[in-house]
């Protein structure tokens, strides 16, 4: 793996921290302060979907071979989740450019889309890492999760006095993945046919 590719992957992870976590947190609390139900509902849905991204980080810590596949699926689902809802899209169109909250939300949605597609492109350039993340040339994909592993390990030891190991991370990741898939199936069977692409954010009145 050349230096340029390594730098590009590193940059992708750094941008992911900003656009997948940092900005959504800011927008979420901003929407609460402004009492904007559309943006608040959008971010609430986003955080539920983004749980898969954090699950994929656990699987990367556990060196699970297909962790990179799950990471890409998670970023794609997160992107779809912020564009999917017709009622939220219609609501956001009603605000002009001067309303900073919705303007930033729109900019963030496009940025998230770009980050997700770029992440997928980077992954496809290292296609073998989709099925064998433990190979030498895939080490760059494990470095961000290695830093997270050190943090979690120290916190786990501090609060529980126990050692947080990679096998534990893998088990927790796979168990969480199972629960997530069951929840997604339940939503697809029950709520999606009933509500369609309506998020129902305005059920208690418009903002």
Residue with tokens 């303007």: 103
Whether residue 155 has pLDDT greater than 80? no
Q: What is the sign, positive or negative, of the torsion defined by CA atoms of 134, 135, 139, 141?
A: negative
Tokens of 138: 């895939």
Residues 6+ apart with CB under 8 A from 204: 37
Tell me the percentage of the chain whose pLDDT exceeds 70.
91
List, for residues 94-131, the tens digit of each pLDDT value: 988 888 999 999 999 999 999 899 888 888 888 888 98
Judging by beta carbons within 10 Å of its beta carbon (0-12, 13-18, 19+), is residue 184 exposed, middle or buried? Answer: middle
> What is the number of alpha carbons within 13 Å of residue 42 lying toward its C-beta?
31
Averaged pLDDT, 28-55: 94
Residue 102: predicted pLDDT = 95
List, for residues 160-171, the tens digit of each pLDDT value: 777 788 888 899
Number of residues in the chain: 207
Domain that holds residue 124: 3-195
186 lies in some domain: yes
Q: What is the DSSP string of 36-53?
A: -HHHHHHHHHHHHHHHHH
Residue with tokens 């749980």: 51
205 lies in some domain: no
170 lies in some domain: yes
Residue 135: predicted pLDDT = 84
Total structural domains within the chain: 1
201 lies in some domain: no
Averaged pLDDT, 35-54: 94
pLDDT band at 142 (very low <50, low <70, confident <90, very high): confident
Residue 207: predicted pLDDT = 42
Neighbours of 41 (CB within 10 A): 21
Averaged pLDDT, 38-49: 95
73 lies in some domain: yes
**Using an 8 Å Cβ cutoff, are 45 and 192 in contact?**
no
pLDDT band at 204 (very low <50, low <70, confident <90, very high): low
Residue 103: predicted pLDDT = 95
Cα Rg, the chain, nearest whole Å = 19
Nearest to 139 by CA among 9, 38, 46: 9
55 lies in some domain: yes
Task: Please tell me what DSSP assigns to residue 196.
Answer: T
202 lies in some domain: no
Residues 6+ apart with CB under 8 A from 16: 75, 115, 119
What's the predicted TM-score (pTM) here? 0.88
Residue 73: predicted pLDDT = 95
Whether residue 206 has pLDDT greater than 50? no
139 lies in some domain: yes
What is the rounded CA–CA span in Å between residue 140 and residue 157? 26
What is the rounded CA–CA span in Å between residue 118 and residue 113? 9
Nearest to 62 by CA among 175, 157, 154: 175
Averaged pLDDT, 155-159: 73
On average, the pLDDT of the chain sits at 87
């Amino acid at each position: 793996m050349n230096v340029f590719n390594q730098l590009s992957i590193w940059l992708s992870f750094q941008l992911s921290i900003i656009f997948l976590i940092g900005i959504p947190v800011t927008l979420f609390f901003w929407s609460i302060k402004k009492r904007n139900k559309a943006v608040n509902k959008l971010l609430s849905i986003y955080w539920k979907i983004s749980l898969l991204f954090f699950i994929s980080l656990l699987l990367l810590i556990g060196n699970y071979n297909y962790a990179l596949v799950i990471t890409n699926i998670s970023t794609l689902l997160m992107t779809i989740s912020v564009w999917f809802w017709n009622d939220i899209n219609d609501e956001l169109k009603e605000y002009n450019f001067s309303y900073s909250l919705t303007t930033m939300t729109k900019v963030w949605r496009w940025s998230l889309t770009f980050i997700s597609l770029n992440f997928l492109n980077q992954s496809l350039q290292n296609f073998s890492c989709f099925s064998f993340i433990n190979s030498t040339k895939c080490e760059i994909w494990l470095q961000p999760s290695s830093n997270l592993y050190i943090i979690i390990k120290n916190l786990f030891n501090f609060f529980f006095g126990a050692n947080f190991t990679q096998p534990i991370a893998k088990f927790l990741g796979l168990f969480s993945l199972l629960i997530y898939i069951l929840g997604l199936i339940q939503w697809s069977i029950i709520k999606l046919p009933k509500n369609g692409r309506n998020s129902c954010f305005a059920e208690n009145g418009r903002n």
